[in-house]
Structure 1
Amino acid sequence: MELRQLHYFVKVARKQHVTQAAQELHVAQSAVSRQIRLLEEELGVHLFVQKGRNLHLTSVGRLFLDRIEGILTDLERAVIEIHEFSDPEAGEIRIGFPHSVVLNLLPSVVASFKKDHPNVKFRLRQGTYNSLIRDITKGEIDLAFISPFPESHEQVVGEILLTEELFAILPADHILADYNSIRLEQLKDESFVVFSEEYSLRTIVMSACQKAGFIPKIEFEGEETDTVRGLVAAGMGVSLLPEMALTEISMLQPAKVRVTEPRVTRTVGLIRRRGDQLPLVAEVFRRFLIEYFQAKRGGSK
């Protein structure tokens, strides 16, 4: 069975006429008829039945057409992807991210990259720490921002892009709201608003509180930084959030206070599947991100 035969078969099935199919294929009618006959002989079935001047698919011919059209579509897509894989100025980058990174970081780096690579497309997928690692290892995304960065993992590898400080956030009328800095233990008797268990920021907050000598009393849980920030601003408790989640000004704005004992930080990294070669366009973006954050660290000194 040859690829040419399959293309001829699909064309005849669509046109229901050998002559019209041959004209669109720019080959002789006899060549199309011969390839269809050879295909039927190889399969041992009749794919078409003559009705007047037209050819109609038999029941097995319709079944074969459904399968072959899917195969040819996948083949065409594979050829396109191979070309895009080797072209740094085209193609698509599939990238994942946690919600706490998307607020300011992701839009700014994508916009900066597209200034020099305007034809590159991005497919974005939001996820939790575990789901992002799963999507990377399954090959569903090329790269993922992740926090905290997994220092040692059997299936993913990458680079730390930045280390970010977490601040205490308090209701605006809280007794500590006007302080320049506080010790985390000063919040031991407060109710906390934290992320749900599948989010890594919850683990960071819980670990920091335990290091400060107490287990926080959890009053509310949320799944987005806006929710946590809004609940704190409304007086429902206190929390810790990374600095980039606190840059946006909203109607419900909590007080932001530095924590000095212990100093609470998180790493934000970029991961890819271990042992895999990235599509060239994704590799160009990865190198851009490393240089982008290196320059930001240098500029902040």
Structure 2
Amino acid sequence: MFDKLECMIQLQRLEGFYWVARCEGYARAARAFPYPITQPGVHQQIKRLESELGVRLFERVGKDRVVLTPQGRVLYDAVAPFYEGLPALERSLRTGDVGGRLRIHASGHVLRHLLPPWLRSLRSQRPDIEVALFEAKVPAMALVRSGETDLLVDHLPEVPPDLDTRQVGKTRVFLVFPSRPRSPIRGLVSPVPFRDELFITYSSDPHLRDLQLAALAHFGIVPRRMYAADSSETILGFVAAGLGYSLLASHEPRGPKVPGVTALPLTEPAREFPLYVAWRRSPQRNPLIEALLALAPKP
């Protein structure tokens, strides 16, 4: 029944119905129309709409005044918000001040540390923008290219030339190992004392795993035993449990803060990894992305 009704009702006739209901008269409706139309033309629209629906929508209560019937009131309550919202919608589309939904894929570390204060600022200034967050085990550039997500926030092994990017932060490398009571270790910058212990590496991101192993090789270390985990949070859990040590990049100035884990900056080789926001290049500006970037943290 709904599909049949949808095919019968034409938007042009609904527009005539809206103006007659709002103005309570055909002559006044014709004068209020946003484009030239005659009173007989408006009257004809209503007659055709009533004929197609099989109900009366108005009843005359004076020489030039009509009011809605109960059926007409139901139809008016459904269509009035659309027509009344059109001027504001037009202004929003012209100025770019539109709300909507942003889909963001980011690494677990970015989701937990970089994005929360950024999104709080966005919510305070643009509550009309809804954000959907998804954790990406590896940089989700394919999803950005296909349009399945709007933004990627992550460390990118290489900045893709076909995407627009902006740096929004950076991470430093930290040596993480189980905390030991009354440990004399202070300011440790070398993993050499742990060379015979189990090393915990990434399983899901081969690029990050290669960076970890390359840093160890700088100190002449080739791990004899390794565990693999799919995220930095899982690696930290293994370290906190006393299973081994690892090298992790962190956005936090003092490194990851996890009970049972000591994190110290690895200054040699000195490495910092930029964090980027990346989005699909398009000739059409995206006001939602622009609103988010206007509040982006400084790297």
Q: TM-score, normalised by structure 2?
A: 0.64
1:100 aligned onto 2:109: yes
Offset of residue 226 of structure 1: 2.4
Q: Counterpart amino acid of 2:118?
A: V
Of 6, 26, 36, the match for 1:10: 6
Aligned mates of 1:155, 1:85 — CA distance in 2: 27
CA contact (8 A) 2:198 2:224 kept: yes
Q: What is the letter of the counterpart of residue 143 of structure 1? A: L
Match of 1:257 in 2: 264
Query: Is 1:147 aligned to 2:143, yes or no?
Result: no
Please say if residues 169 and 251 of structure 2, whose CA atoms lie closer than 8 Å, have aligned partners that are also in contact: no
C-alpha deviation, 1:126, in angstroms = 1.5
Please tell me the residue identity of whatever aligns with 2:195: K
1-structure distance, mates of 2:184, 2:283: 48
Secondary structure of 1:163 counterpart:
strand
Question: Take 1:192 and 1:136, find their aligned partners in 2: how far apart are those partners?
Answer: 33
The 1:242–1:83 alpha-carbon spacing in structure 2 relative to 1, beyond 3 Å, is: same
Question: For the structure 1 residues 247 and 164, does the alpha-carbon distance in structure 2 shift closer, same or farther, using more than 3 Å as the test?
Answer: closer
Q: Displacement of 1:148 after TM fit?
A: 3.2
Which segments of 5 or more consecutive residues in structure 1 lack a partner in the other structure?
Answer: 1-5, 14-22, 36-79, 295-301
Gaps of 5+ in 2: 10-16, 21-44, 54-88
1:216 aligns with 2:223: yes
Q: Computing the radius of gyration over CA atoms, which structure comes out larger, 1 or 2?
A: 2
**Larger relative helix fraction:** 1
The DSSP-based 3-state class of the residue aligned with 2:205 is: coil
Instruction: Name the SS for the 1:150 alignment partner.
Output: coil
- CA-CA distance at 1:139 after TM superposition: 0.9
Partner amino acid, structure 1, of 2:243 = M
Say yes or no: does 1:279 pair with 2:281: no
Q: Separation in 1 of the partners of 2:191 and 2:176?
A: 11
The SS at the match of 1:190 is coil
Question: Equivalent residue for 1:3?
Answer: none
Indicate whether 1:115 and 2:102 are aligned. Answer: no
Partner of 2:196: 189
1:145 to 1:178, Cα distance in 2 relative to 1, 3 A: same
Task: Please tell me whether the aligned partners of residues 92 and 98 of structure 2 are also in contact (alpha carbons under 8 angstroms).
Answer: no
- Taking the aligned partners of 2:164 and 2:206, their CA distance within structure 1 comes to 20
Q: C-alpha separation between the residues in 2 aligned to 1:7 and 1:94?
A: 32
Query: Partner letter of residue 172 of structure 1?
Result: S
1:40 matched to which residue of 2?
none
Is the Cα contact below 8 Å between 2:107 and 2:153 reproduced in 1? yes
Q: Distance in 2 between matches of 1:257 and 1:149?
A: 24
> Could you tell me how far apart the structure 2 residues matched to 1:127 and 1:108 are?
19
Match of 1:127 among 131, 136, 144: 136
Q: Distance in 1 between matches of 2:96 and 2:281?
A: 22
CA distance in 1, matches of 2:229, 2:263: 19
Q: Match of 1:137?
A: 145
1:277: how far off? 3.6
Give the match for residue 293 of structure 1: 298
Contact 1:177 1:255 in 2 (8 A): no
- Could you report, residue by residue, the CA deviation over 1:87-115 in whole angstroms, capped at 9, with x for unpaired residues? 43522222111111111211111002222
Query: Residues 215 and 176 of structure 1: is their aligned pair in 2 closer, same or farther, counting only changes over 3 Å?
Result: farther
How many Å separate the matches in 1 of 2:104 and 2:124?
18
Per-residue Cα deviation, 1:253-282 (whole angstroms, up to 9, x for no partner): 211122222224322111111345442121
How many Å separate the matches in 2 of 1:276 and 1:286? 17
Name the SS for the 2:266 alignment partner. strand
Displacement of 1:190: 2.5
Where 2:97 maps in the other structure, the secondary structure is coil
**Deviation, structure 1 residue 162:** 2.2
Aligned to 1:74: none
Structure 2 contact 173–272 (Cα < 8 Å) conserved: yes
Q: CA separation in 2, counterparts of 1:272 and 1:85?
A: 22
Aligned in 2, Cα 1:84/1:191: closer, same or farther, shift over 3 Å?
farther
Residue 175 of structure 2 contacts residue 246 of structure 2 at CA under 8 Å; is this kept in 1? Answer: yes
Q: Distance in 1 between matches of 2:223 and 2:260?
A: 22
